[in-house]
Copies of this chain bind each other. A is one copy, B any other.
Amino acid sequence: MLCTALVFFMHLGFSLLEIGLTRQKNTVNILFKNFFIICIGLVLYALIGFNLMYPTSFWRGIIPDYFFALFGLVSPSVAEGLDLTYNTGYTYWTDFLFQGMFAATAATIISGAVAERAKLGSFFAFSMLYVGLVYPLVGSWKWGGGFLDSWGFYDFAGSTLVHSVGGWAALVYITKLGARIGKFSSEGKPMAIPGHNLPFSATGVLILWLGWFGFNGGSVLSADPALTSLVLTTTSLSAAAGGLAAAGFVHLVYKNFDLTMFMNGILGGLVSITAGADLMSITDAIFVGAIGGVIVVLAVALLDRLKLDDPVGAVAVHLGTGIWGTLAVGLFGSAASLHQFFIQFIGIAIIAAFCIGFSWIALSLIAKFFGLRVNREEELNGLDQAEHGGMNAYADFRMNQH
């Protein structure tokens, strides 16, 4: 239950990270979006997910049973909901809340990538579909005991099942959405659009690191104290190594102490270790994190070259190191083998195909009927003006216009 609280707190971390790395004129919009994701995620998960699972639900009579089976759902009776023997040491409710908090994370990842130009309603529509359908379906392939699980695919706490799933959608979304006005010069050169509040971003990163204690620690679901302590240690070391590697690599290349790369490197280290946090020694964890940190820097540069605009680096962090962390299970730690590496690769490829395909189709339909992007004037004035009645995030402060 403590871990659930920490995973909940990650939503504050994501929100602060995102507003800090974007412009002040879109701050209210980003906060609104994040509040919405948390709230609708929980309520939908309760109304649909929960009702789907429980036989007393009125959905039960309407929707055929094979639909439940599709999502790998079990159907305990309501009385079992308070049963401590539901699983080793926790109740159905604990599981429900932890999973509900988890699910919304995938939408939050997308949110960061599409910031500053996505239409609010269209984003809500897509993220509800994605969190409601893609996330649990893909999850059922592994955590629900589906075919990936039976093949031996390993993903401890979601490098692929949470982070890459969010990352693939983010990648497709920014491809269809296009870059923010001013992100690329007329010659196609990438231009820096600096974030407006780096202390918020730094706060967000440290809150996320704290939350990862709950995310990875809570995924040792039976709360085996010995294993939990190992997982928290590998998690922290990978984060630290990721940050140092990213900052060091940037310093070598650009002769500069780059704070945002340091922060993204830490997040990259956290995502990298998520697939195998319970399998790694501390030396493994440091290697996995450090390589993850370098991958973040390279992925950011690659996106720039592809003229894709991801204001907060969500694709680099969550997709780039999500893939890396999943592959790393086959290369480092106690499960490493060529066979395992191959299975990890296959799992990533299948999930990639499904997520990209779904996202492309769903976003094309939404684009056709509602549009994905605010208009030029709205973007230039900022989304707080356009969608929130001119609410100003910092009413007393004087601002530079840009």
Contacts and interface: CB of A to CB of B under 8 A. Distances in A.
Contacts of A205: 35
B225 A84 contact: yes
A388 B207 CA distance: 24
Given A84-B225, A396-B24, A1 B217 contact: yes
A259 interface: yes
B262 A32 contact: yes
A324 B1 CA distance: 28
Contact of A9 (B195, B210, B239, B254): B210
Interface string A186-216: 0000000011111110110111011001000
A402 B393 contact: no
Contacts of A50: 282
A236 interface: yes
A229 B94 contact: yes
B396 A199 contact: no
A48 to B, nearest CB: 12
A198 B394 contact: yes
A227 interface: yes
Contacts of A194: 391-392, 395
Identical chains bound together, number: 3
Contacts of A398: 397-400
A43 B27 CA distance: 35
Contact of A256 (B93, B197, B388): B388
Contacts of A1: 213, 217, 225, 228-229, 232
A78 B262 CA distance: 32
Contacts of A16: 199, 203
Interface string A1-32: 11011101101100110010001110110011
Interface residues of A, number: 101
Contacts of A206: 9, 11-12, 15
Interface string A220-250: 0000011111101100110111011001000
A65 interface: no
A39 interface: yes
A59 interface: no
Given A2-B2, A35-B247, A93-B233, 17 more contacts: A1-B217, A1-B229, A1-B232, A9-B210, A16-B203, A19-B199, A35-B243, A36-B247, A36-B262, A40-B240, A47-B286, A84-B225, A197-B199, A199-B393, A257-B387, A394-B397, A397-B399
18 contacts: A5-B213, A27-B198, A35-B262, A39-B239, A39-B244, A40-B240, A43-B286, A82-B226, A84-B226, A91-B230, A92-B229, A96-B233, A257-B389, A258-B388, A258-B389, A259-B388, A396-B399, A398-B398
